[in-house]
C-alpha cells in the first residue's frame, strides 16, 4: 500500500521519481526494508493509504498513523492485489510491478514458493513480533495457465516466523491445488 500510495502521489503531482526515492522503494519491496518504509510513510501518511484502499475497493481498512499498524483483512489485501495494476497508477505502474515481481530469493517464501514456475507472481510479505507471538502476512497476484488469482494470508500468534511461513505455504497449496506438489 505504501508503494502504491507513493507512486500515485508522484503521478498526481507530475513529479519525477528521485534516485533516493527509487532506492527506498526498491529496498522496501525487494528486501522488505522497514526503515525505507518508515522514511516513505510520512510523505503519504494515512490519506495516501486511504486513497489506495478506496481505489482497491477495500472494505475494512483502518489506518492508525503508522504503516505497519494499519488494520486490514485478508479479503482487503486480496482486493488490492486483484486491482494492483490500476491502483499503482499509470506513470510508474511498470516500476511498481517490476519491484513486486523481483523480491529477493530469501523473501520468496509462502505463496510464490508454492506457485512455482507455472505462475508469474507479484507479491509482498511481511513479518514482525506482535503481542501474541509472530505476525506473518503475505499477499500475491498470480498469473499462469490463462488464470489470474489474488491470494492474501494474514496470520498472528504464530510461535515462530518459520511456523507462519509454513502456515501460509499450506494455505496457498490448498488454494492453488498443489498440496502434494509444493
**pTM (predicted TM-score):** 0.94
Check whether residue 38 and residue 110 sit in a common domain: no
Check whether residue 6 and residue 78 sit in a common domain: yes
What average pLDDT does the chain have? 96
Q: What pLDDT is attached to residue 61? A: 98
Check whether residue 115 and residue 88 sit in a common domain: no
Contact 179, 113 (CB under 8 A): no
Check whether residue 12 and residue 85 sit in a common domain: yes
Check whether residue 98 and residue 38 sit in a common domain: yes
Q: What pLDDT is attached to residue 54? A: 98
Check whether residue 180 and residue 143 sit in a common domain: yes
State yes or no: pLDDT of 180 exceeds 70.
no
* 148 φ/ψ angles, rounded to the nearest 5 degrees: -135, 130
Interval 142-163 mean pLDDT: 97
Q: What pLDDT is attached to residue 181? A: 46
Burial of 73 (0-12, 13-18, 19+ CB in 10 A): middle
Residue finishing a domain among 61, 84, 102: 102
38-73 tens-digit pLDDT: 999 999 999 999 999 999 999 999 999 999 999 999
Check whether residue 8 and residue 72 sit in a common domain: yes
97-110 tens-digit pLDDT: 999 999 999 999 99
Q: What pLDDT is attached to residue 179? A: 55
Residue finishing a domain among 55, 84, 102: 102
> What DSSP character marks residue 112?
H
Check whether residue 63 and residue 118 sit in a common domain: no
74-124 tens-digit pLDDT: 999 999 999 999 999 999 999 999 999 999 999 999 999 999 999 999 999
Check whether residue 111 and residue 94 sit in a common domain: no
Check whether residue 1 and residue 90 sit in a common domain: yes
Residue finishing a domain among 102, 129, 156: 102
Q: What pLDDT is attached to residue 11? A: 98
Contact 59, 75 (CB under 8 A): yes
- Residue 62 structural domain: 1-102
Q: What pLDDT is attached to residue 182? A: 40
State yes or no: pLDDT of 24 exceeds 60.
yes
Domain total of the chain: 2
Check whether residue 12 and residue 80 sit in a common domain: yes
Check whether residue 73 and residue 33 sit in a common domain: yes
CA–CA gap between residue 140 and residue 151 (Å, rounded):
5
3-15 tens-digit pLDDT: 999 999 999 999 9
Amino acid at each position: 500500500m505504501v508503494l502504491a500510495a507513493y507512486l500515485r502521489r508522484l503521478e498526481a503531482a507530475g513529479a519525477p521519481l528521485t534516485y533516493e526515492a527509487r532506492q527506498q522503494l526498491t529496498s522496501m519491496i525487494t528486501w522488505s526494508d522497514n526503515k525505507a518504509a518508515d522514511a516513505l510513510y510520512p510523505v503519504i501518511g494515512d490519506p495516501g493509504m486511504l486513497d489506495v484502499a478506496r481505489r482497491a475497493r477495500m472494505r475494512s481498512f483502518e489506518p492508525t498513523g503508522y504503516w505497519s499498524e494499519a488494520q486490514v483483512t485478508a479479503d482487503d489485501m486480496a482486493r488490492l492485489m486483484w486491482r494492483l495494476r490500476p491502483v499503482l497508477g499509470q506513470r510508474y505502474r511498470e516500476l511498481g510491478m517490476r519491484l513486486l515481481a523481483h523480491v529477493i530469493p530469501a523473501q520468496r517464501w509462502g505463496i510464490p514458493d508454492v506457485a512455482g514456475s507455472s505462475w508469474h507472481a507479484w507479491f509482498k510479505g511481511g513479518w514482525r513480533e506482535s503481542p501474541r507471538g509472530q505476525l506473518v502476512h503475505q499477499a500475491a497476484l498470480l498469473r499462469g495457465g490463462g488464470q489470474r488469482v489474488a491470494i492474501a494470508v494474514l496470520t498472528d500468534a504464530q510461535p515462530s516466523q518459520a511456523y507462519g511461513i509454513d502456515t501460509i505455504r499450506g494455505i496457498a497449496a490448498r488454494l492453488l491445488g498443489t498440496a502434494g506438489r509444493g
